[in-house]
Structure 1
Amino acid sequence: MLNFIFSLFMGLVVLTILIVYVVYLIEWMKLPFRSRWVKIGAYLLITLAPVVGLLIYKYSKKWFIGPAK
């Protein structure tokens, strides 16, 4: 039961992080960019945010609960 509650909590945390990233970057994209590197960085953040979220979710159980028995 504890694992289920923890998984639900971490899922909500990861989902919130992803939503904040996407909304923030979509709003940020509306600004006029002068530098090509800023656009590349923004696209990389949009691409890497789901990957980082999934990695946090995958390894958070090992970090906080310990190895599975």
Structure 2
Amino acid sequence: MIGATVSETQRPQNVVFFVNSQHAPYVKTKPFHHSQEIIKEDESGTTFKILCTAFPTFELERMILRMGEFF
């Protein structure tokens, strides 16, 4: 789990994000989350999906956005 925020009322949500082709191999070999999967891949990059069982946390958002130049 990324972050410690859990909500009993929130349903799981998919978080979809794109990584350019130069940096996609890093995210493929160092997944952000165990649920990470590739949903699309082409010459420009890779689109990934992870399932947030609680809800997207600030920590997850920061982890994705700190790599902003790669997306």
Judging by fraction of residues, say which structure has more helix: 1
Task: Give the TM-score taking structure 2 as reference length.
Answer: 0.26
Task: Give the TM-score taking structure 1 as reference length.
Answer: 0.26
Judging by fraction of residues, say which structure has more strand: 2
